[in-house]
Amino acid sequence: MRDSCESRRRCIMSDFVNITAAILAGGLGTRLRSVVPDRPKVLADVRGRPFIEYLLEQLDEEGVRSVVLCTGFKGDQVKDRLGTTYRNLTLRYSCEQYPLGTGGALRLALSLLESDLVLVLNGDSFCDAPLDEFASWHAAHRSSATILLARTNNTCRYGSVQVDDEGRILQFSEKTHAQVPGWINAGIYLLSREMIESIPTVREVSIEREVFPGWIGRGLHGFRSKGLLWDIGVPDAYAQANAEFVKTRPSE
C-alpha cells in the first residue's frame, strides 16, 4: 500500500511540478470586515491558522513548486507572514496598486507565470478535490480553460454553471432566491497562457462575471468534482469554516 501511495505521489508531482500556480489574494474583503477587520481575508484565522496556508499545503501535496500570490489590500501582511518559501513551494508576489478584480489581478501577474498552463485558485475558498484528476481531465478534453465545479444543495448564494455531457460550459446562471441544487464554480481553474493574455489590461476585470462568460464557445469546460467546498467570503460561511473545516483528503 505504501509503494502504491508513493507511486501515485510521483505521478501527481509529474503533472504539476512544471506548472505555476496563482492564488488570487487581493480582494478587499468588505463583506468579511465586520469579523476580520485588520487583515486581508486570506490571512483570516480558520481553526487557528491563516486560511491561505490550507491552499498552500494543498498545492505542495499535489507537487506544485512555484506559486504567485496576487495581492492587493494589505498585501504587505501576506508577504510578511509567508515570505518567499512555504514547505517545498517558492513564493512570488504580484501586488496591484489599485483594485483590478480577479481577472485584472491575474493579467497583471502574467510576467511571473512561467508555464504555458496555469493553475489558479481563489484565495478565499478551498475545494478538497483531486487536482491530479482535474489536470488529466483538462488534458484529455484539450481544453483551453477548465473550471473545477462542486455540487451544492443550494446554489442561491453562488449562481450555477450549466454544462453539456462533454463538459462544455453552456451558461452561467445568476444568483436567485431559489434554493435548488446544482453545480457551482469552486474557485479552481486551469487556464492556458493564451487565454490569460486575452484578459483586458489596466482596468478592473472580474474573471467570474466578465471573462468566463466571454469564453463560452472558445474551449471553456467544467470538470464536475466530488470535492467538498469551503469558503470564507461572508461572516456566516467564515463561522461555519471555523466550526467544521477539515481536509477530507489528507496528505499520504
Q: Which residues are catalytic?
A: 175
User: In the structure grid, which three cell numbers stand for residue 74, read together?
Assistant: 494589505
- Of 118, 123, 82, which is closest to residue 102 (Cα–Cα)? 123
**Max CA pair span of the chain:** 51
- Tell me which amino acid residue 70 is: C
Distance CA 64, CA 223 (A): 20
Mapped to the 3 state alphabet, what secondary structure does 102-137 carry?
HHHHHHHHHHHCCCCEEEEEECCEEECCCHHHHHHH
Distance CA 30, CA 199 (A): 25
Distance CA 154, CA 236 (A): 15
Q: What is the sign, positive or negative, of the torsion defined by CA atoms of 95, 204, 29, 38?
A: positive
- 99-116: burial string, b at 16+ Cβ within 10 Å, e else: ebbbbbbbbbbbebbeee
**R_g of the chain computed on alpha carbons:** 17
CB 68, CB 120: distance < 8 Å: no
- Tell me which amino acid residue 32 is: L
HSE, side-chain direction, 13 A CA sphere, residue 10: 5
- Tell me which amino acid residue 31 is: R
